[in-house]
Amino acid sequence: MTSTPAIPRHIAIVMDGNGRWAKARHRPRSFGHNAGRKAVREVVEGCLRQGVEALTLFAFSSENWRRPQDEVGALMELFVRALDKEVDELLQQGVRLRFIGDLAAFDAPLRKRMHAAMARTAGNDRLHMNVAVNYGGRWDIVQAARRAAAAVGRGELRAEDIDEATLGRWTSLAELPPLDLFIRTGGECRISNFLLWQAAYAELHFTDTLWPDFDQACLQRAIDDYASRERRFGRTGEQVARARPTQDSAC
């Protein structure tokens, strides 16, 4: 028994393993990315069933531009197709879709589609789904620092008043519940410049499952793993144990 609520409020996922999944089937990498769309639908369903409030997916990192041109092109096409096909369903499911990252790098028609999808689903709040594109955790911290510097320049803020809370308010996802659970599929155990600020106290779950094979049972295993952790946020185990009866009796 721990004081960790059984269901994380906010889950983030590095969807890794599409290329290896495709290679095992003697197909191009783009085949794996396309198969990854089904896994996205699975986790959205799973989050809705479990009452998870926010889901943040790493779809394209600021470093992914370094991939072969044809793979980058295939991913862009996939995003356009996914936007055209999936947004109606997300709208009906009560999902609010948002893109985070430096969207300025995408071509105008794709950007327009992204903004249209965000506007169409803006009234939903059953699940906040954030798709990180051209995103990097360091970029996120830098853009927050720039906004703070601009506020200082305008005389709205004193540099000595900038603290974690002030800067945090300018990072992506600041208005959502803190990140509780960070999942990475595909067997690698690293964060790869995703949500560096937001993951400070997230529980990490790594699985060998390749992203296209990730389904609701895999999500449940990750949630069960999360629920078994003791989250201490800097306190000792004894302090957490002493606080527990009060918390439990308050429920």
Residue type, 177: P
Site string for ligand FPP, 158-197 (x = CB under 6 A): ----------------------------x-----------
Report helix angle 69-93 to 29-50, nearest 10.
20
When asked if residue 36 is in the footprint of ligand FPP (CB under 6 A), the reply is yes
Stretch that binds ligand FPP, among 30-38, 113-121, 221-229, 242-250 (CB under 6 A): 30-38
Beta carbons of 27 and 37 less than 8 angstroms apart: no
Stretch that binds ligand FPP, among 4-12, 36-44, 114-122, 142-150 (CB under 6 A): 36-44
Out of 11, 12, 13, 40, the residue judged to bind ligand FPP by CB under 6 A: 40
Strands 181-184 and 203-206: parallel
Minimum CB–partner distance for residue 47 and ligand FPP (Å):
14
Out of 59, 87, 173, 181, the residue judged to bind ligand FPP by CB under 6 A: 59
- The tokens describing 107, both together, are 């071509």
CA distance 26 to 239: 54
Out of 7, 78, 157, 199, the residue judged to bind ligand FPP by CB under 6 A: 78
* Lookup result for tokens 């308010």: 169
- For the question of residue 64 being annotated catalytic, the response is yes
Give phi and psi for 55, each to the nearest 5.
-135, 125
- For the question of residue 134 being annotated catalytic, the response is no
Minimum CB–partner distance for residue 97 and ligand FPP (Å):
9
Stretch that binds ligand FPP, among 3-11, 41-49, 74-82, 137-145 (CB under 6 A): 74-82
CA distance 55 to 95: 10
Strands 54-61 and 10-14: parallel
Out of 82, 87, 179, 223, the residue judged to bind ligand FPP by CB under 6 A: 82
When asked if residue 8 is in the footprint of ligand FPP (CB under 6 A), the reply is no
Closer to ligand FPP by CB, 10 or 33: give it.
33
C-alpha closest to that of 171 among 191, 200, 192: 200
DSSP secondary-structure letter at 12? Answer: E
CA distance 251 to 247: 7
For ligand FPP, the nearest residue by Cβ is 19
C-alpha closest to that of 182 among 132, 115, 250, 123: 132
How many residues appear in the chain? 251
Stretch that binds ligand FPP, among 32-40, 144-152, 165-173, 223-231 (CB under 6 A): 32-40
Residues at the contact surface with ligand FPP, assessed by CB under 6 A: 15-20, 29, 33, 36-37, 40, 57, 59, 64, 78-79, 82, 131, 186, 211
What residues are labeled active site?
16, 64
